[in-house]
Structure 1
């Protein structure tokens, strides 16, 4: 019976099929991306048998483990111990540093990769790289380049390092990536060592004690560059959010589709009950129908997502969500899991509707009235009222909350109220319909009359529009308004009218570029407390610390610098900013550090990688780089939500239109023309979309004003409210177009436009 219903009433299952197809495709593609985005062994260590990682600090709050560098004494002791271990052929410290090739005086290549593209030639064997032409570097000023660089042996190679521009002579070409210099030069440019690559015989037993961790096999991925790990983490957050949002919205669409389908099939289900079907049989019938649709949609959806995932590898790299070299392959476990998830989502979506369907009385088969007896169930009433009370309660907390907490409270309150509006839509739309003038024509009278007696149908169309419009306006508007506030606050912290900033082609300014300018700057670095905890610091003046470190003026603190050297310093002052250290001391112990910006006190001097701009432009550029990621997250998540919303609207309209066939035939027989009937259905659907937009805005817009007020209080300056008109027009316009098209489709198929009323009735 289930298969027969799916075959002969396929229009009733289109929404469920499309929702599950897209949902499973999203989950399958996301899982394939997630599988490919796991940390991997760096190419430069691919040929190692074992990697020794430096001691790691793991914060109690979580986050990435931070490997503190060995001191020179610890490194020498460890290398001696490893070299003396039976079976160890070589133990090589991994030293990497920043270097970029200069082409016509300008830095080239990816700035993120350039941070660790320089290395010592002794570590080339750890990646399995060999000389293809020429000789290894033997002294300062010599370099081995990758064959992809296209530079011949003996050529001069202009490069940019943290100290500034310099020129090296190419002595060899290798089959690996990166630039290799002699060990002494690498040691002076790279600073500290956090990993040792070991080439050893199988069975060699390595013991390093508290000086590090022995890593073998896939565990060697733990020492991939920190920047790559953070980049992968960003991509993973988007993937995880996509899976959860896609799964949640799919459940929402499937449940709303099934609920409306059960309402439309009450007479049919009542007939089944009248001929002897038990409530359990009715529940199993609906559940089996949906599971059949889930399998029919899930299998092609899973393969569609898995095959589309590799196409997203390059966009993920371009967006800064994955490191260079990221690739995606076909993952069979992702296909299987996504199909199973689709089945679970389908079962979860139909469960409540199936239980309700089992209670349909047999007498419903004899009823022919189109008037809804009870548009709201008791559960929906209770849940909706609870959401109103919760959202209102959160709003009451605003007057006594701090400026920092107000935007969060406003956002949470508005989201809960949006859920309440979608739940209470059946009781909200009818009063709003009565406010709409019917006009003088028959279309307006019919639309108003039909909408007044079919609140559930109208609310089923309006509810997803409420959620989509409200969430889109609220989230995008809040983030964009907050971005304006952050720009204002950051610009106020930079007193200089113009700055020398890094260009987009480099990760930071070299020391030569900084010294060419007249102005003030800070040199960021990381130092380690005696506990091993890493703290960010800037090279500026004397040793100053923030009060939260609990240190006193005059107290001596042993700090481990980026090169592993421990220096004891006396605290000169307690400040409210970050840790400050003498700039020359930072440069001495962190030769790879780069300066982000110089506040100019004299005209700008051109230098490789440096650009001149106003302080305001610099703040906006830095904020834009972060906002681009936020915008990408919002676009993906809202795109999925809005896409499902449009699908829910179109499917509900389509099902409702098919269910009203007898009503349309009656209109036709009483004198209505086919054009008038079509106009009634389209106008009613558009009215539902307009009501959904109005209710969504009624919740979101006041929340935006409250969020702006909190931001203004927080920064103490006026903030312009950003209304996301493009998103509003996209959501509202897309839902309206799909609703109109879905209203029109059944008439094309039935032939009513050509006068075939009997066909539609049949």
Structure 2
């Protein structure tokens, strides 16, 4: 029967599993709490309005952030009049947004959204000084430090405009007079119903449903969260990927490390299990005992980890917002279901991790009690052979698929499956793979270092389970680190290389403190730029669109004209369509294309030709695009010759600099997430290594004492232990390199094929070497510190 006294005696066997489970469940519970808290939320600027009527939402796939079709100006006017007449409604206010960013002290400041003054009541935001804006005036956030009467430049889509500050408000945004804001071509997708004091919000919502009919959807309470911006929705989606990766990695590594921990523990307790079998214990009883011990440790560690995760989850929320993985205002909410689910997951991870070890313990024969040598020559279980072989086979099939990809397939996914499959397979087969590899690697060591080298070699070969238990987490960590970081860096380098070799310009104008370029900045020094946005079909479908000039498309060289001419874009009522769209819709030159624009107005431009490779469904003139869209900014502008200073909110750079910086923000988020995963996996590997070394030292007291009795000094014994630990870590790191690099090279080859460019293979070796060095330092220090008590034993012992 398991008692707490027995548990204390076996602490060395359980400490590693406890720490791994504690860390794993801390990460899982934090991630799950953050995931359950990461849903859409009602924007602060709309939080004070109880009832909204919004456009019907379109069905979008995962990772698709296309906007909903806005109402037409006629529909907005009609809805506003009829909704405003509902009893209990004080005001029906259209929520119209457009680009507007103040320039203070010569630099654009945070906050780039403009609104009509009436929209401030949706929060509600109120004046803290001054008066409401009139024509030629703006009301600004009081935190900008501008007093009423001050003059301020505001960047708009067309360029900088100077306004007089009429007043300040207690919220973000740039507020124009309703008359001036109404002239800005911006779509309306929601109308807020500000109710009178004491009004029945439920009755107002019911009446609004009747008024809106099929043209709108009434949103109340938490249902208003669909009104968040697409930018915030995209940020939440990125955070979801990061949190899911953290939770998945924690579970995956926890199972591997827990299994490895208990495998070492079982190997060291073979004599104990042999004695139990000798006195009549059945294999089922031994298995049940191992499960019971693991379950007790797992429940305690999981409970502690879940409690720690609940305490640290708010800190994680702040970190996610600071890093840009969650929108401002995000906060982690504590709730029982995710914590209970994390606890149940911890128990399942414990049982899954100890499954193989319990079977090995049940197979110990009674004669094992008579064994004195630490030689581990037992064969691996058949199930482990099968699982390892299947993983390797699946990984190799995926690797062949990745290598043979022509760039049109999901080569990145194939490469990931290949590497992860082979890594998992090699980890499962490590007791069989480690001995021959260790024999090959350590052969020069044995020949060159005499008795010490021979001891290191033979210890690594005879204690197979211990060697494999130490090498496996290093293999998994190094392999995954090389694969993930290399894929991220190689992909970024590939896009930069393609941009640098295809851009036909002498310089590029890029945003500087703004989300994009105004028309003034984008046309400085004769620069040319395009606008990327959306058009809306009558059925609500969304078409990607590019507003550009023929000269820009010709210089880019990516667009292939199937029929018609790029010169058609000089005419505001003609468009070019992608070949797939023409085939799907039956469009040909002369066909009308009924669409709506961002401002809600509709038109039926004539299809003047078909193109291929345009990165958009529809090409139209830049002037037509801008005339209906006051929110979209150019991402860059290309200059022939030496550029002049482009003005506030922009700067000119050379092509190479632009190529490296084009996706800087997205690359930053991806790299932070990547490093976070590497750090988490390295922490798990460190715990597993330290635990294995401590447990191994407890079972090697007699061996180390024999070395002392044989004449070895304490320094020589510790040197042998350190060298053995270093050999095993380097062995695991080498296997990780061998497993990950071929898959990474396959992905690089497929990426080069897809982009038709010479893509360099980029691996952040300083980070990888840092991971290996951390594992090496932990292994050597843990082994030496754990062996010191045994080395200090008296020589006559």
> Equivalent residue for 1:448?
457
Secondary structure at the aligned position of 2:120 is classed as helix
Deviation string, structure 1 residues 67-126 (Cα, Å, up to 9, x no partner): 2110011112222221233333322111122222211222112xxx41x3x211212221
State how 1:20-39 maps to structure 2 within 5 Å: 20-39=21-40
Question: Post-superposition shift, 1:210?
Answer: 1.5
1: CA distance, partners of 2:457 / 2:580? 65
> Which 10-residue stretch deviates more, 397-406 or 448-457?
397-406
Asked if the contact 2:403–2:746 (Cα under 8 Å) also holds between the matched residues in 1, the reply is no
1: CA distance, partners of 2:795 / 2:576? 85
1:567 equivalent in alignment to 2:562: no
1:181 equivalent in alignment to 2:176: yes
Question: Post-superposition shift, 1:221?
Answer: 0.8
Deviation string, structure 1 residues 330-361 (Cα, Å, up to 9, x no partner): 55554444333322322222233224323433
1:210 equivalent in alignment to 2:210: no
Deviation string, structure 1 residues 24-65 (Cα, Å, up to 9, x no partner): 211222233334432111111111111111122113677447
> Which 10-residue stretch deviates more, 474-483 or 21-30?
474-483
Deviation string, structure 1 residues 647-699 (Cα, Å, up to 9, x no partner): 21221122122112222223333333332222222211211112112222222
1: CA distance, partners of 2:62 / 2:104? 44
Alignment partner of 1:149 out of 144, 155, 159: 144
> Equivalent residue for 1:557?
593
Provide closer, same or farther for how the CA distance between residues 234 and 185 of structure 1 changes in structure 2, counting only shifts above 3 A. same
> Equivalent residue for 1:165?
160
Provide closer, same or farther for how the CA distance between residues 228 and 390 of structure 1 changes in structure 2, counting only shifts above 3 A. closer
> Equivalent residue for 2:668?
628
> Which 10-residue stretch deviates more, 640-649 or 57-66?
57-66
> Equivalent residue for 1:473?
482
Provide closer, same or farther for how the CA distance between residues 396 and 250 of structure 1 changes in structure 2, counting only shifts above 3 A. closer
Give structure 2 stretches of 5+ with no counterpart.
Answer: 550-568, 570-574
Provide closer, same or farther for how the CA distance between residues 498 and 440 of structure 1 changes in structure 2, counting only shifts above 3 A. closer
Secondary structure at the aligned position of 2:633 is classed as coil
> Equivalent residue for 2:261?
257
1:713 equivalent in alignment to 2:753: yes
Alignment partner of 2:638 out of 599, 605, 628: 599
1:491 equivalent in alignment to 2:500: yes
2: CA distance, partners of 1:215 / 1:352? 53
Provide closer, same or farther for how the CA distance between residues 315 and 62 of structure 1 changes in structure 2, counting only shifts above 3 A. closer
> Equivalent residue for 2:244?
240
> Which 10-residue stretch deviates more, 457-466 or 316-325?
316-325
Provide closer, same or farther for how the CA distance between residues 34 and 401 of structure 1 changes in structure 2, counting only shifts above 3 A. closer
Secondary structure at the aligned position of 1:235 is classed as helix
Superposed CA RMSD: 2.4
Question: Post-superposition shift, 1:410?
Answer: 4.3
> Which 10-residue stretch deviates more, 485-494 or 605-614?
485-494
1:581 equivalent in alignment to 2:620: yes
> Equivalent residue for 2:234?
230
1:544 equivalent in alignment to 2:584: no
> Equivalent residue for 1:506?
514
1:122 equivalent in alignment to 2:144: no
Provide closer, same or farther for how the CA distance between residues 221 and 614 of structure 1 changes in structure 2, counting only shifts above 3 A. same
Deviation string, structure 1 residues 542-594 (Cα, Å, up to 9, x no partner): 21111111232211011100000001100111111122112111111112221
Give structure 1 stretches of 5+ with no counterpart.
Answer: none
Provide closer, same or farther for how the CA distance between residues 680 and 402 of structure 1 changes in structure 2, counting only shifts above 3 A. same
Question: Post-superposition shift, 1:243?
Answer: 0.9
State how 1:111-510 maps to structure 2 within 5 Å: 113-114=111-112, 116=113, 118-137=114-133, 139-189=134-184, 191-200=186-195, 201-202=199-200, 203-204=202-203, 205=206, 206-207=208-209, 208-328=212-332, 330-331=334-335, 333-397=337-401, 401-405=405-409, 408-435=413-440, 436-437=443-444, 438=446, 439-503=448-512, 505-510=513-518
Question: Post-superposition shift, 1:431?
Answer: 2.3
2: CA distance, partners of 1:691 / 1:158? 63
Asked if the contact 2:505–2:640 (Cα under 8 Å) also holds between the matched residues in 1, the reply is yes
Asked if the contact 2:30–2:309 (Cα under 8 Å) also holds between the matched residues in 1, the reply is yes
2: CA distance, partners of 1:592 / 1:430? 64
Asked if the contact 1:500–1:598 (Cα under 8 Å) also holds between the matched residues in 2, the reply is yes
Asked if the contact 2:186–2:598 (Cα under 8 Å) also holds between the matched residues in 1, the reply is yes
2: CA distance, partners of 1:747 / 1:350? 27
1: CA distance, partners of 2:63 / 2:99? 28
Question: Post-superposition shift, 1:329?
Answer: 5.2
Question: Post-superposition shift, 1:181?
Answer: 1.8
Asked if the contact 2:264–2:692 (Cα under 8 Å) also holds between the matched residues in 1, the reply is yes
2: CA distance, partners of 1:545 / 1:226? 26
Question: Post-superposition shift, 1:452?
Answer: 2.6
> Equivalent residue for 2:737?
697
Question: Post-superposition shift, 1:432?
Answer: 2.9
Asked if the contact 2:185–2:627 (Cα under 8 Å) also holds between the matched residues in 1, the reply is no
> Equivalent residue for 1:87?
88
Asked if the contact 2:270–2:369 (Cα under 8 Å) also holds between the matched residues in 1, the reply is yes
Provide closer, same or farther for how the CA distance between residues 279 and 190 of structure 1 changes in structure 2, counting only shifts above 3 A. farther
> Equivalent residue for 1:754?
792
> Equivalent residue for 1:670?
710
Asked if the contact 1:231–1:321 (Cα under 8 Å) also holds between the matched residues in 2, the reply is yes
> Equivalent residue for 1:76?
77
